[in-house]
Homo-oligomer: A and B are copies of this chain.
């Protein structure tokens, strides 16, 4: 899992897959090129795990929208090495950032990367 989700080119609920023509529209509107499909599938694979979804949710809801492993082991009921493994997968997919401060590494959600993934599946408003 080494794919990194790129920054979205546009914002708003009608945005989604880059077609390579400067246009971003959701999956349900645009035939998906093979390279885009590979990249998006890697992102979905990172979130296709209940523990990783809960970690994303816990971090997003934590004070300052960041958390260290020490904040996360108890809520998910798993060991620190296991939680760190899941966090690494999310960092590698570009869905979390990791910053070392003192003894601990702090993780923060990358909202644009999550939104790029999600918007591929969501229809434009009003459709």
Q: Which residues of A contact B (CB under 8 A)?
A: 12-13, 26-32, 34, 37-38, 40-42, 44-45, 47-54, 56-58, 60-61, 109, 111, 114-115, 117-123, 125
Contacts and interface: CB of A to CB of B under 8 A. Distances in A.
7 contacts: A26-B118, A28-B114, A32-B57, A34-B50, A37-B54, A37-B57, A115-B121
Chain A interface helix/strand/loop/mixed: helix
A65 to B, nearest CB: 8
B27 A60 contact: yes
B50 A37 contact: yes
A32 to B, nearest CB: 4
Given A117-B121, A123-B111, A125-B12, A27 B56 contact: yes
Q: Which among A38, A60, A111, A118 has the highest number of chain B CB atoms within 10 Å? A: A118
B28 A53 contact: no
